[in-house]
Amino acid sequence: MKRIVGGVMGLLSLISVTTVTWAAATSEKCGGLPTEAQLRTLLEQAPSTGGEVGGLFQGERMWGAVVNRDGQLCAAITSKADPTQVFPGSQVIAKAKAYTANAFSLDSLALSTARLYTFVQPGHSLYGLNTSNPFDPKALARTAGSSGGNEQLGGGIITFGGGVPLYKDGKIIGGLGVSGDTACTDHEIAKRTRDLAGLNPPGGPLVDDITYSSVDGASAFTHPLCPNTYRNGILIGNELPAAGY
């Protein structure tokens, strides 16, 4: 009996040490980045900060995800207490946007996913980029849950609005991805969430802002309009109707 009790106590001691070590490692890998609870609060505040955001749901039904500089998932959660009321497909998109924004930004270059849109179109220089880093489904959580894949490299490349790099003291520390509305509204919420978190790039919150050909002039960095498009609280317009089919 003494041997059994001693063995059990030793096992419990080992589990306790392992748990503490894992928690410390998680904190170190994701230091300076929002926790899931903080991320939800930021996502909840973003739609009412800075004016109208437009879209389908005014930015109120979002998945948000944060990765560290290594691309490892640090937090993922919905803005709604009931995650089933956010598009299930938006989970993977948010995580992939966070990965993309971090993967293609530097200390000296903040590159939101919105600014990659034109580059990846047929005939442009980064055509095919979307297939370069497939998303790992092991990084997904169940529809009714959060997290899923914490500290994993989920991967995935998304090249439309909703992903922004995160900075602290002028250095890039990770990426934020937001999905659940139009791509244009996703960008607005991601931009506001980053600003509320105090994790803007050195050039300020608008240095990698979304641009539109119809308003800003055509360039390699522009993004098409979405339904009910707003930028920084100002109505920009609507996506063009279908034509030619």
Q: Given pLDDT bands bounded at 50, 70 and 90, which one contains residue 18?
A: very low
26 pLDDT tier (thresholds 50, 70, 90): very low
Q: CA distances (Å), 119 to each of 17, 90, 102, 224, in order? A: 49, 23, 17, 13
Q: Report yes or no: 112 and 209 within 8 Å, Cβ to Cβ.
A: yes
Query: Contact 229/236 with Cβ under 8 angstroms?
Result: yes
Portion of the chain with pLDDT greater than 70, in percent: 87
DSSP 240: P
Residue 39 has pLDDT above 90, yes or no: yes
Q: Does position 148 have pLDDT exceeding 50, yes or no?
A: yes
- Give 20's pLDDT tier (boundaries 50, 70, 90): very low
Asked whether the predicted pLDDT for residue 2 surpasses 70, the reply is no
Mean pLDDT for the chain? 88
Q: What's the whole-number mean pLDDT along residues 73-101?
A: 96
Q: Give tens-digit pLDDT for 113-135.
A: 999 999 999 999 999 999 999 99
Spatial distance between the Cα atoms of 54 and 239, rounded to a whole number of angstroms: 12
- Does 82 have pLDDT greater than 80? yes
Measured CA to CA, the distance from residue 239 to residue 222 in angstroms comes to 14
- b/e per residue, 93-131, with b = 16+ CB within 10 A? bbbbbbbbbbbbbeeeebbbbbbbbbbbeeeeebeebbe
| Residue 43 · residue 34 · CB < 8 Å | no
pLDDT class for 24, splitting at 50, 70, 90? very low
What pLDDT band is residue 8 in, cutting at 50, 70 and 90?
very low
- DSSP letter at 63? E
In this structure, are residues 113 and 163 in contact, taking their beta carbons and an 8 Å threshold?
yes
Q: Which stretches of 111-162 are assigned E, i.e. beta strand?
A: none
Residue 144 confidence (pLDDT): 63
